[in-house]
Structure 1
């Protein structure tokens, strides 16, 4: 890849990993519009590492606090709000991990088409609009229950289907369960940490087995630009989401889905 392609793809990954607009839908556009080749497994691992570092650094205080609470109180009867939230992050990750492990090969063969991504981008965009418009939004992460966590975890598992948007569908589920926008977003971002880590590790293992030549310069640039884009994306999204709501992202998803449908049928 050229340095221009590396920067563009890394920024796309960093931004769309956490915005509710589907990273897979965006990563297919350069190939469809500009004829770029697939960026390859090594680059995919690198940009995910950048995104992971961004979310871990941004939420470093939360991670430290939840970790201390989980190891200190997580295995006792006297659970604090922090130890319970740590458990919810762990338990909410399990459905997506299992579904991703079991369905990975089938998804790769049958669901990575532009048509599937276009449809899921539109359908789950409309669901996000409905949840944002109709939900009560009176709860915070302190009010989450095991049932809520399982439902959000199942929603995250559905995001294995390309075009769904992991952040989008987990925020949708959180809003439908009554979480306010910021709480739904924060829980979605916390849930992203173990799932991105697991996906990155599996991809890295696949990369080691493939024994392909690695362009380290491309990987360093990719991880770096993905990190910067993801960090500022998280910061700005959490700063603005309570005021602007989900409608701008819904409109964007609908336009993006229609653009993809245009390329599918022309």
Structure 2
């Protein structure tokens, strides 16, 4: 199907309707917070089903669903960081662990904000070269290799309480890779945290907490972009359906990820990512996917 653009913004999701967007919301919600690339699935699932590509605007706006899921699942951590850092600021106790962690999260967000602003014109443009299936396929394979290496060589011992400013900055820099479709925000940050020696569940927890500001900014920015192009009432209602469904599925995705990391390892995701990348590249070569 033809691409749908609204003043240069990819808004293909509008033409899909409520039922299809709800289905894609489930897919988006599950894959957004698992280290398997939601962008890859948002390209391959509609292609297999013969549907319109929902577009980068849909994926970016769905960040708010991920935000709701992360905040609700890790509410204890979020509450402690938020209120603990404010209390420390009032007491001028800048050595308080909650204040330091809040500051580190802010500093770790700066790299992706700078990169996101610099690449915004390319990332969300209609027919963006970064959203081609070839780019996504190779990114999936590359991240499968890196995540596999992290599993092999990581110590899996450290906790979030052991984290330092250097750890936060390195994971924050790794988060920039999520701007490349197919890399996956959770995939890049989880890989970095594992590489820094964090235990698997703690690596996931650290990566999710560090990603909160970036997830919020990405989602809110996309809503503003959709507002600027005067998205119609029908488009907004379709988007809301996707957000609600994606929020619920994203919460269960986090729960599943934490169970897998607590009891097993990241190898299921390594294997899945590698196979997904191969399927995407094979589909491009053979013409399965347009």
Q: TM-score, normalised by structure 2?
A: 0.85
The Cα shift of 1:80 comes to 2.8
Match of 2:9 in 1: none
What does 1:159-178 align with in structure 2 at a 5 Å threshold? 159-178=178-197
Tell me the distance in 2 between the aligned counterparts of 1:6 and 1:110. 24
The Cα shift of 1:239 comes to 2.5
What does 1:143-158 align with in structure 2 at a 5 Å threshold? 143-158=162-177
Match of 1:136 in 2: 155
Question: CA 1:197–1:116 in 2, change beyond 3 Å: closer, same or farther?
Answer: same
Of 94, 97, 113, the residue aligned with 2:113 is: 97
Contact 2:25 2:242 in 1 (8 A): yes
Question: CA 1:191–1:116 in 2, change beyond 3 Å: closer, same or farther?
Answer: same
- Listed as ranges, the gaps of 5+ residues in structure 2 are 1-15
Give secondary structure in 1 for the equivalent of 2:109.
helix
Deviations along 1:132-156, one digit per CA (max 9) or x if unpaired, are 1211112111111111111111100
Of residues 54-63 and 77-86 in structure 1, the stretch that sits farther from structure 2 once superposed is 77-86
Of residues 117-126 and 143-152 in structure 1, the stretch that sits farther from structure 2 once superposed is 143-152
The Cα shift of 1:5 comes to 1.3
The Cα shift of 1:45 comes to 5.8
Question: CA 1:43–1:148 in 2, change beyond 3 Å: closer, same or farther?
Answer: closer
Of residues 217-226 and 112-121 in structure 1, the stretch that sits farther from structure 2 once superposed is 217-226
- Listed as ranges, the gaps of 5+ residues in structure 1 are none
Aligned length: 266
Contact 1:41 1:207 in 2 (8 A): no
Of residues 83-92 and 18-27 in structure 1, the stretch that sits farther from structure 2 once superposed is 83-92
Match of 2:226 in 1: 207
Tell me the distance in 1 between the aligned counterparts of 2:100 and 2:130. 35
Deviations along 1:200-234, one digit per CA (max 9) or x if unpaired, are 11111111111132324423321121011001111
The Cα shift of 1:74 comes to 5.0
Q: TM-score, normalised by structure 1?
A: 0.93
Contact 1:46 1:222 in 2 (8 A): no
Of residues 226-235 and 206-215 in structure 1, the stretch that sits farther from structure 2 once superposed is 206-215
**Residue 20 in structure 1 maps to residue 35 in structure 2:** yes
The Cα shift of 1:71 comes to 1.6
**Residue 81 in structure 1 maps to residue 97 in structure 2:** yes
Tell me the distance in 1 between the aligned counterparts of 2:98 and 2:111. 22
Match of 1:220 in 2: 240
Contact 2:22 2:241 in 1 (8 A): yes
